[in-house]
Amino acid sequence: MEVLSDSTLEVLQRAALTEHQAEAIFGQGRDAVVFALLELSKQLAEARGPQATPSTPSGMIPVYEKPTTKSRKKRPGAKEGHPGSRRRVPDRIDRRETHTLPCCPDCGGRLKRTGDTRTRYVEDIPEIQPVVTEHTIHSDWCRKCQKRVEPKVPDALPNATLGNRVLVLSAWLHYALGNTLSQIVEVFNFHLQLKVTPGGLVQMWPALPVCARRCRDKR
């Protein structure tokens, strides 16, 4: 359908089309008009850039494309006398720390201890270190069956070196939340300090039905 001359294409790309040039394109027939309109549409789309969707992060939307916000007429915050709200004090304290300044942080001068203190509660994710369990499995002889029998390890599938919690969490991240293999591997290798590979995860996931039955039976 590219029936336009090089000079006409250059005019379209510069968005400098005159009335005389538009009539010339029209005179070339239907294909020329369709191609010219498609070329103009392409240029407009590239000038606007990618369109924002409801899932587009706010930081990726240009300021001039964001809707204007109206100024607040009311003073923000609760009215005077309204009972305050804050995060409640935790029911369990796992660790206590005391913080004391050795000297004045501004001038470095000596401090006179007053005995005054205040308490602040901080909840955070603990430092994570994988728990490695060595399972000693007794193999005994059954006289009736004439064979050796062993107990099952409830926390992992047969021949698995990763536990059921790793299997379930990785499958939930992939199938429920839609994370990619590389993202899941990054979570385990960096944040959870547990070395896994994409191939190892893919090999584990077909065993999910067996893992689900074991978890149900354990409860």
Please enumerate in sequence order all residues whose Cβ is within 8 A of that of 185, keeping only pairs 6 or more positions apart, or say none.
196, 197, 198, 201
Mean pLDDT, the chain, rounded, equals 79
Q: Is 179 exposed, middle or buried (0-12, 13-18, 19+ CB in 10 A)?
A: middle
Note the pLDDT tens digit of each residue in 38-86.
Answer: 777 777 666 666 666 666 667 666 666 677 766 666 676 667 777 767 7
Amino acid at 131: V
Degrees to nearest 5, angle at CA 77 with 71 and 80: 125
203 and 192 Cβ atoms separated by less than 8 Å = no
Note the pLDDT tens digit of each residue in 6-35.
Answer: 555 555 555 566 777 777 777 777 777 777
Secondary structure (DSSP) of 35-77: HHHHHHHHHHHHHH-SPP-TTS-GGGS-GGGSPPPPPPSSPSS
User: Which of the four pLDDT bands, split at 50, 70 and 90, describes residue 138?
Assistant: very high
Helices 19-27 & 30-48 angle (0-180, nearest 10)? 130
Q: Among 11-25, 135-149, 153-167, which stretch is predicted with the lowest mean pLDDT?
A: 11-25
The Cα–Cα gap between 48 and 78 comes to 42
Q: Give yes or no for residue 162 having a pLDDT over 50.
A: yes
Q: Tell me the average pLDDT across 130-146.
A: 92
24 and 8 Cβ atoms separated by less than 8 Å = yes
Note the pLDDT tens digit of each residue in 78-107.
Answer: 677 777 677 788 889 999 999 999 999 999
- Whether pTM > 0.75 for this model: the answer is no
Q: Tell me the average pLDDT across 152-165.
A: 86
The position carrying tokens 């790309």 is: 13
